[in-house]
């Protein structure tokens, strides 16, 4: 099989697939149109997020048997077109579930204990104790929406913090020793903290909006390591300003480019500026799943799945 690699990934992908006899070609610079001209030569594609694989692209990929996405999210692929064309879809959410879970806990502890703010103040000669009094996780109810690989790993990490973990998912009977499955209404009634672990599709775009936030019974902390467009930013900012959201830890933003490589400067606005300057908000550049270990694990899961299916 001939496979096109469109993004930089861990070299083990190339090394292991070549050893199995696959033919590989790397192209990390060509544009969408340039790749489109040659895509019919390949049996498989390995991607991250650089080029969108829309219906037009897939219809031109006459010999394509599979698309392997090194990561979890598949929103950059026209899933319906892929299904209609019998193209196998492969991803590797198992590879960065642990790094995402650790990032969630890390951001939340920093936010709730004002660690980043306090550290900067001390380094600048400012010594404030009462103003930097923290808020404990112990005794709180942690609500998760989406109990797949990321949600489960997050619940597991929280098991030693003395929190009650509940979750809502569209699939039934997912509860385990680390979390209890509840209705969305129950989650909104009980949660002190809300963390998103869902894909981006038509049903989850702007899931957290003004209406959703108004149904949260308590003032709460909010964590998003899923996708920026799962959240309506204007509603988020409004809720932070009025105190409904006590603080937000955001690894993803609505204003990211589709490739996740940077913010889309053309969408610069007051809401974004508020998030970037507020002491109640921590923002990281879409790195929750981005550890040295996850880079290798993401790649290994992809190789193993390709080999199992097509070797």
Residue-wise pLDDT tens digits, 91-138: 999 999 999 999 999 999 999 999 999 999 999 999 999 999 999 999
Instruction: Record the pTM.
Output: 0.94
Q: Coil, helix or strand for 249?
A: strand
What tokens does 243 get?
């105190």
DSSP state of 60: H
**Ramachandran angles phi, psi of 43, nearest 5°:** -90, -25
What tokens does 53 get?
């694989």
Residue 261 binned pLDDT confidence (cut-offs 50, 70, 90): confident
CA Rg value for the chain: 21
| Res 7 pLDDT > 70 | yes
Residue 258 binned pLDDT confidence (cut-offs 50, 70, 90): confident
What tokens does 213 get?
């936030």
Predicted local distance difference test score (pLDDT) of residue 263: 87
**Higher model confidence: residue 134 or residue 257?**
134
Residue 257 binned pLDDT confidence (cut-offs 50, 70, 90): confident
| Res 65 pLDDT > 90 | yes
| Res 267 pLDDT > 80 | no
DSSP state of 210: H
What tokens does 253 get?
């933003």
Catalytic residue list? 227, 256, 286
Residue-wise pLDDT tens digits, 239-251: 999 999 999 999 9
| Res 172 pLDDT > 90 | yes
| Res 264 pLDDT > 90 | no
| Res 268 pLDDT > 90 | no
d(CA 171, CA 184): 12
Residue 262 binned pLDDT confidence (cut-offs 50, 70, 90): confident
Give me the mean pLDDT over the 259-280 stretch: 86
């Amino acid at each position: 099989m001939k496979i096109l690699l469109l993004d930089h990934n861990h070299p083990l992908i190339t090394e292991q697939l070549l050893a199995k006899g696959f033919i590989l070609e790397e192209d990390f610079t060509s544009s969408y149109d340039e790749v489109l001209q040659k895509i019919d030569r390949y049996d498989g594609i390995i991607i991250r997020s650089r080029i969108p694989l829309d219906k037009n692209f897939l219809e031109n990929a006459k010999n394509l048997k599979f698309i392997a996405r090194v990561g979890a999210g598949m929103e950059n692929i026209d899933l319906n077109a892929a299904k209609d064309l019998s193209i196998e879809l492969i991803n590797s959410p198992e590879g960065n579930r642990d790094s995402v879970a650790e990032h969630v806990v890390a951001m939340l502890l920093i936010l709730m204990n004002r660690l980043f703010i306090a550290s900067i103040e001390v380094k600048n000669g400012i010594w404030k104790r009462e103003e930097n009094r923290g808020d404990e996780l112990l005794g709180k109810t942690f609500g998760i929406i989406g109990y797949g690989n990321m949600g489960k790993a997050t619940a597991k990490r929280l098991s030693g913090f003395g929190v009650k973990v509940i979750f809502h998912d569209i699939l039934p009977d997912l509860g385990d020793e680390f979390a209890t499955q509840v209705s969305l209404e129950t989650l909104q009634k009980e949660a002190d903290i809300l963390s998103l672990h869902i894909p981006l599709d038509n049903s989850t775009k702007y899931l957290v909006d003004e209406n959703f936030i108004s149904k949260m019974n308590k003032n709460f902390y909010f964590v998003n390591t899923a996708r920026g467009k799962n959240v309506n930013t204007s509603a988020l900012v409004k809720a932070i300003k009025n105190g409904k959201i006590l603080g937000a830890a955001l690894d993803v933003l609505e204003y990211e480019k589709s490739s996740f490589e940077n913010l889309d400067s053309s969408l610069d606005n007051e809401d974004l500026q508020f998030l970037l300057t507020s002491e109640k908000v921590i923002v990281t550049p879409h790195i929750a799943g981005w550890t040295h270990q996850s880079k290798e694990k993401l790649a290994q899961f992809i190789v193993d799945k390709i080999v199992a299916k097509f070797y």
